Chain A
Amino acid sequence: MLRHVTELVNQHLDEVAALILFGVGFTMLLLDKNLIKKIIGFSMMDSGIYLFLASYGYIGGLRSAPVYTNGVTDPAAYVNPLPAGLVLTGIVVSVSVTAVMLGLTVRLYQRYHTLDMDEIAEQIRKEGK
């Protein structure tokens, strides 16, 4: 049983690492009260996904990066180029999202002088009266 599991994990080392990153990031984004840590969690989560996606673009054997070298256009010479494109797009998206989250955090900190979501909620409740 244990040997079976170890074998499976060994075969999928990249994906396992990516998914653990995803899980940790997801939990931080969901449960951490500190806004900055939430953003860190978000970055981890997205990095996990990109690692996962990129690792599926890799093909074993002596294949090179998807830039034509010496005019060779044989598919067997290069790795899959599409995941690289998708990851590139995804990274830009997550940079933008991080910027907006940080902007919100700055505004909230200026107003409430804390990064703690619960604390902010508490202050808002008091302010609402």
Chain B
Amino acid sequence: MPANKKKHDAFARLADWLENGAQPLDEEIGESLADEAYEEENAAEKTIPSVEVKKQTPKKKKRQERHRRKRRDALTVGAYADAWWYRVTAFIVCVSLVGLLLYGVVRMPLFGNADTLADSEVASFYVTHTLEETGAVNIVTGIILDYRGFDTLGESHVLFVAVSSVLLLLSIRGEKDEQERLLESDREQRTEPDHDLVLQGGARLLLPLVLIFGIYIILNGHLSPGGGFSGGAVLGAGLILYQNAFGYDRIGKFFTYRTFRAVSVSALLFYALAKGYHFLTGANHIPGGIPEGTAGAILSGGLLLPLNIAVGCVVTCTMYALYTMFRRGAF
């Protein structure tokens, strides 16, 4: 397959250029790459139902030509952006900034010194009190979910803002983008795995382990290193693997946009309510009435376990949602 090889070659050189931006990408490669993309697009267009093909007018052809030229420019323009003065400015900015920062930083307390102020009473307080006050064996979990729980409440909502923003940005389409959408849905069909044995076999082998490990990290977050954020990321990776191996049809049976919305919204609402209850009782010095359990057991630490589970749900959904949205532009 000579065409394929040529394309492969071009990609390798493009990657090379991206790495060492210095060497200008030669025109020919850029063009051939753009041509490939163009051909691919043309091929894609041909497979689109006949309604689209009928619209092929000279005007449209002209537009395509322009579109193609734009694409080529996009690939080669980086070479001109590396004008020498530009690099000099960047160098000067970088060096002076780092110099200024280093000037201040070398006067700071010594690295790893036990006497520095950063390791004063506050740090010791956390170490001595976390176990009895929060019931967490993992001090970091105790801090982020209890002492500094408000930060973490904000943090999980940052994730929510991010996923909503991406949804908002990627799902807006005017009529102009209709063509693009058709192309995309076609591309999607081609990228759906057609029973890739190695991938599916590997996924069958790995997925149970990945999911169990993720759940373990979430549930054990207050006892050992881990917690909702890391466990959620593992679970999200598991979902992404599942999708890649078995396709959207299979994952759509149990995880759709509605599932995502229901799970993440209810987890966030539960999180905010639980934290609100905790803040309210804490600030008013009312006993919270949540059993603490014996420290070290899995059912201990009061609210920490449910909070970790809620965070885990949010992170899992967010990771998978971000992946899907970037891959398909929609759920």
Q: Chain A: residues with CB nearer than 8 A to chain B?
A: 8-9, 11-16, 19-20, 22-24, 26-27, 30-34, 55-61, 65-68, 71, 73-78, 80-85, 88-89, 92-93, 95-97, 99-100, 102-104, 106-107, 110, 112-116, 118-119
Contact = CB atoms under 8 A, between A and B. Distances in A.
Contacts of B252: none
Given A30-B93, A61-B114, A99 B144 contact: no
Given A80-B123, A107-B169, A114 B70 contact: yes
Given A16-B102, A107-B170, A113 B67 contact: yes
A91 to B, nearest CB: 8
Contact of B126 (A60, A82, A103): A82
Interface string B70-84: 110110011001000
Nearest to A102: B326
Given A89-B152, A89-B155, A59 B114 contact: yes
Nearest to A117: B81
B254 interface: no
A88 B144 contact: yes
Contact of A27 (B74, B90, B139, B140): B90
B163 interface: yes
Nearest to A63: B114
B94 A24 contact: yes
B224 interface: yes
Interface in B200-227: 224-225
B123 A20 contact: no
B102 A115 contact: no
B152 A73 contact: no
Given A31-B89, A80-B119, A92-B155, A119 B113 contact: no
A107 B176 CA distance: 13
B43 interface: no
B286 interface: no
Contact of B98 (A23, A59, A71): A23
Contacts of B81: 33-34, 116, 118
A13 B326 CA distance: 39
A126 to B, nearest CB: 11
B128 to A, nearest CB: 5
Contacts of B112: 58-60
A77 B70 CA distance: 62
B242 interface: no
